[in-house]
Structure 1
Amino acid sequence: MTSKTGGSSLERAKCDELSTPESVAIMAAINRLESGIHAKFDAHAAEIRGKISLVREEMHNKFSSLKEDLKSQNEHLTCLETATSEWTTSLHSLKPTAVSLQKEITSLQAKCLDLECLSRRSNLRLVGIPEGLEGPQPTKFIADALVEIFDLPEPPLLARAHRTLASKPAEGSRLRAFVICFHRYDVKEDIWQKASQGGQLKFRDKTVFVFPDFPPEIAKKWAAYYKVKHHLRSMPDVKYSLKGLTGFRITKNGAEHTFDTAAMAFVRQNLLPA
């Protein structure tokens, strides 16, 4: 055991060591270093707290702005949903009216097409007359031309005759047709019957063609029979003719066949050699 007298001696020795100038200087340096560390830590902590506060403020402002935007968007969506609901209701109520109007428009279009066909029923189209031959009196010129083409005893009485309403074609381009309106329907029918017999028509050594004058909608449907007529021209025992506005009639051995679109298939299967 250490005696109390021995312990006191050690303590006094330690105090004497710490009382030396070197020890005092070391302790002072340690204290200064510790104070500097605390100061720097406090400064960095204050800087970090400031930045955190700034970020929090920015986030708060952005979130507030987003809340306002979301609120505005919700209001717009509510308005759109209301408007969509109203439009859907209106569309449902208008659907029967639209269907009725579509049927009426289709009916009116058919009537207009029929009326246009009737207004052209006394017309024929003459194709192949060179440009400029008609001169200043195209109606008289065409009446005389029909005499030459069909070997008529006298010029037919025409209401009018004129080129189709298109710009004059360039040299070598497709010629414009003549639209001929006959004063009498029966005369027009006689001319058409002669033109339909299949012989080649000539005017001043030029090959010409005669067609019915129908609206473009009907003309396109009739053009679909071009190949059929081309094959049937070489069959003397087969007769053919157009029927109505869009039909086609083929007669062979007294049997008559009427088509709308399948005439070519019938010709291939029944009339053309295998």
Structure 2
Amino acid sequence: ISEDIKMILASSKHISTVIVEIKHGNKDILSRLTTIESHLSDSDGRLAAAEAQITSLTSTVAVLHERLNDQENRACRNNLRILGFTEGVEQGNPTCFWEKTLPALLKQPEGTVLSIEWAHRSLAPRPAPGQRPRPFIIKLLRFSIKKLLLKSAQDLGSLEWERHKILFFPDLSKALQDRRRLLLPEKNIKYGLFYPAILKITWKGETSSFTTAEEAEKFVSALSHSCRGGGEEP
């Protein structure tokens, strides 16, 4: 019996030792879990701060992009983009060529001073024979002359030079062209596009202005419903 008691006591002592070791192990695990939770909490805080910073930077980049696009278009405010002239027609001196050609092409009064600052082809590789020629970019010193030339081209309608159709456009950035394209209405309603990208719709003598395609769509949709109700077609 004494031997059995000794064995039981020895086993109990061993079990107690194992329990103590388990407790120490659990304590170590708990400490590690606490450390991990602390690190996770710190990581969540840093992630939230990073996301907030990314949102702020994205907003800043969008604002800067808008300002850059605005500055680009303001820098091109006096520019004309002219399409249709064959390659090499300027014979190495585009400014001189346009000083002579523009007044005659647009039927300007004799002695009209254009004050061209510079003129060149668009910065693209020279096209192969038979391909569409690159447009000309012309910078005028005065905005009033640019408006005069655009209006003259519009009033004359179809323009030709040596059996080539000639087109005149304001020189706008691609981003602004895309915005204007989005604002073009599908309905047969009088409209106008103004710098930088404002759509004005006139209906029954009242003019409304829109800066986004969504606003214009809502207006046209509401107008369509009201016209159907009144038996009119916009």
The TM-score range, normalised by the shorter chain, is: 0.5 to 0.7
Per-residue CA deviation, residues 104-160 of structure 1 (Å, 9 max, x unaligned), is 222111111111111110111001111111111011112222112211123511000
Among the aligned pairs, what percent are the same residue?
26
Q: What secondary structure, in the 3-state scheme, does the structure 2 residue paired with 1:126 have?
A: strand
Counterpart check, 1:98 vs 2:49: no
Structure with more contact order per residue of length (Cα contacts < 8 Å, sep ≥ 6): 2
Q: What secondary structure, in the 3-state scheme, does the structure 2 residue paired with 1:194 have?
A: helix
Counterpart check, 1:159 vs 2:117: yes
The alignment's C-alpha RMSD in Å is 3.5
Larger relative helix fraction: 1
Counterpart check, 1:169 vs 2:127: yes
Counterpart check, 1:111 vs 2:111: no
Corresponding letter in the other structure for 1:89: G
Corresponding letter in the other structure for 2:81: R
Do the aligned partners of residues 227 and 80 (structure 1) sit closer, same or farther apart at CA in structure 2, a change above 3 Å counting? Answer: same
Structure 1 alignment gaps of length 5 or more? 1-77, 233-237
Corresponding letter in the other structure for 2:104: E
Q: What secondary structure, in the 3-state scheme, does the structure 2 residue paired with 1:100 have?
A: helix
Do the aligned partners of residues 202 and 239 (structure 1) sit closer, same or farther apart at CA in structure 2, a change above 3 Å counting? Answer: farther
Structure 2 alignment gaps of length 5 or more? 1-32, 228-232
Do the aligned partners of residues 196 and 257 (structure 1) sit closer, same or farther apart at CA in structure 2, a change above 3 Å counting? Answer: farther
Do the aligned partners of residues 187 and 181 (structure 1) sit closer, same or farther apart at CA in structure 2, a change above 3 Å counting? Answer: same
Q: What secondary structure, in the 3-state scheme, does the structure 1 residue paired with 2:49 have?
A: helix
Q: Cα distance, 1:194 vs. partner?
A: 2.3
- Measured in 1, the distance between the counterparts of 2:45 and 2:84 equals 60
Q: What secondary structure, in the 3-state scheme, does the structure 1 residue paired with 2:73 have?
A: helix
Could you say which residue in structure 2 is the equivalent of 1:125?
Answer: 81
Q: How many corresponding residue pairs?
A: 189
Corresponding letter in the other structure for 1:173: Q
Do the aligned partners of residues 200 and 255 (structure 1) sit closer, same or farther apart at CA in structure 2, a change above 3 Å counting? Answer: farther
Per-residue CA deviation, residues 182-234 of structure 1 (Å, 9 max, x unaligned), is 01111111112223447112223321111111111012223446786xx97xx
Do the aligned partners of residues 240 and 150 (structure 1) sit closer, same or farther apart at CA in structure 2, a change above 3 Å counting? Answer: farther
Corresponding letter in the other structure for 1:241: G
- Measured in 2, the distance between the counterparts of 1:226 and 1:149 equals 30
Q: What secondary structure, in the 3-state scheme, does the structure 2 residue paired with 1:105 have?
A: helix
Corresponding letter in the other structure for 1:190: L
Counterpart check, 1:186 vs 2:137: no
Could you say which residue in structure 1 is the equivalent of 2:45?
Answer: 89
TM-score normalised to structure 2 length: 0.66
Per-residue CA deviation, residues 45-66 of structure 1 (Å, 9 max, x unaligned), is xxxxxxxxxxxxxxxxxxxxxx
Could you say which residue in structure 1 is the equivalent of 2:19?
Answer: none
Q: Which has the larger radius of gyration?
A: 1
Contact 1:241 1:249 in 2 (8 A): yes
Counterpart check, 1:248 vs 2:199: yes
TM-score normalised to structure 1 length: 0.57
- Measured in 1, the distance between the counterparts of 2:160 and 2:191 equals 22
Contact 1:239 1:252 in 2 (8 A): yes
Counterpart check, 1:210 vs 2:161: no
Do the aligned partners of residues 242 and 152 (structure 1) sit closer, same or farther apart at CA in structure 2, a change above 3 Å counting? Answer: same
- Measured in 2, the distance between the counterparts of 1:204 and 1:124 equals 20
Q: What secondary structure, in the 3-state scheme, does the structure 2 residue paired with 1:245 have?
A: coil
Could you say which residue in structure 2 is the equivalent of 1:18?
Answer: none
Corresponding letter in the other structure for 1:94: A
Mapping for residues 140-155 of structure 1, pairs under 5 Å: 140-153=96-109, 154=112
